[in-house]
Amino acid sequence: MSILLNRPSAASPIPLAALDLPKPYLLFLGDAADTTFLKTGLGLRDWAPDLCIAEHKCAGAAATLELPVMPPRAAYAAGARALVLSAASIGGAIRESWIPYLVEALAAGLDIISGAHDRLADNGRLRQAAEAHGRRLIDVRTPPPGLPIASGRRRSGKRLLTVGTDCALGKKYTALALAEAFRARGLDADFRATGQTGIMIAGRGIPIDAVVSDFVAGAAEMLSPDADRAHWDVIEGQGSLFHPSYAGVSLGLLHGSQPDVLILCHAHGRDRIVGLPDYPLPSIGRAIEVTVQQAQLTNPAVRCAGVSLNTAGLSADEAERAIAALARDWGLPVADPMRGGPAFDRLVEACLL
């Protein structure tokens, strides 16, 4: 107990420093068979394309981000200064089969950036190669020191949090798109990253799923501190309250963020938790009801402004019909932020009411 009492309070937040990441990047796709496990690569390609020189992968791997293909030495000659682990494995591990490719990148003059749970320097071969070639091993999924416990104190400024019916359905993309749309309307808005890919895009943030559970809500308070009354923090959600594996992370982030506005993210056609088919997804109404109820602990005035619907894989006409049907069924603005258009404009306006 004394350890907790001696922690700093989020009422006096520690400044969140920007990361010193070598840029631009060669994206390493590992041995991924398709883009399902390339969330980091997809996020960087779609939201920081100017930082992505090329892609590189294990021999025989089928996945591609449709970037130029270059080995490390060619990528270095083209301007790349770091190789980014862009594939995710179950449990956040760095696969042993990747190590020769990473050693090759170090020898070519590239630093390595990883968002995995495994630490790069814990691998003896990587550590020795980095030392031999004078290169850096950078683990993005490392929380800053001295994270506070949550105070629950209301903070000035406005906050929006993306939440989901499941994992991996667009919470990061939705938050990035909304922050961009707010700024396009002349508002002061920041995207607040809570996952490794978002941190690489924004250059700062806190990897919430790597924070000790007692400090998750405090980390969220630190991530979105007091601000001007008109300022918006658009916070990247993590996990789902309805996911048996990750609900704890989602709840701590929800309480610490103290959102004024929630956007519920959902994937069209998905009816089961990915990887856990015994668990059905909640209805849109149930998801909103439960999430708002839980969020009211730290912000009784919280509201859900609408739904972000991931329509990847649908044609433009199919997506328009799916969006219209969901909006009609639940009486809320619904849009796919990646498609934009009038539906997305309505969703943005509903956030700003």
Q: 279 and 218 share a domain?
A: yes
Q: 318 and 253 share a domain?
A: yes
- Where does a domain end: 105, 139, 173? 139
Res. 12 pLDDT band, cuts 50 70 90: very low
Give the pLDDT score at 266. 98
Q: 133 and 198 share a domain?
A: no
Give the pLDDT score at 9. 44
Token pair 């070598």 is found at 22
Q: How many CB atoms lie within 10 A of CB 114?
A: 25
CA distance 115 to 85: 7
Q: 86 and 224 share a domain?
A: no
Give the pLDDT score at 19. 87
Q: Is residue 1 part of a domain?
A: no
Check the CA dihedral 325-329-331-337 and report its sign: negative
Range of the domain at 48: 25-139
Looking up residue 87, the CATH number of its domain turns out to be 3.40.50.720
* CA distance to 34, 50, 86, 113, per residue, from 211 (Å): 29, 30, 21, 19
Say which DSSP state 14 is in.
P
In this structure, are residues 195 and 208 in contact, taking their beta carbons and an 8 Å threshold? yes
Residue 286 has pLDDT above 60, yes or no: yes
Res. 28 pLDDT band, cuts 50 70 90: very high
pTM of the complete model: 0.92
Cis previous bond, 24, omega within 30: yes
Q: Is residue 148 part of a domain?
A: no
Give me the number of domains the chain comprises. 2
- Where does a domain end: 139, 170, 187? 139
Q: Is residue 8 part of a domain?
A: no
Q: Give residues with Cβ within 8 angstroms of 134, minimum separation 6.
A: none
Main-chain phi, psi angles of 318, to 5 degrees: -65, -40
Q: Across the strands, what pairs with 191?
A: 234
Q: 198 and 271 share a domain?
A: yes
Give the pLDDT score at 250. 98
Alpha helices by DSSP H, the chain: 2-5, 39-47, 72-77, 99-107, 124-133, 171-184, 196-202, 216-223, 247-257, 284-295, 316-330, 341-351
Q: Which amino acid is at 256?
A: G
Residue 159 has pLDDT above 70, yes or no: yes
Res. 90 pLDDT band, cuts 50 70 90: low
Res. 277 pLDDT band, cuts 50 70 90: very high
In this structure, are residues 99 and 92 in contact, taking their beta carbons and an 8 Å threshold? no
Mean of pLDDT over the chain:
94
CA distance 207 to 197: 9
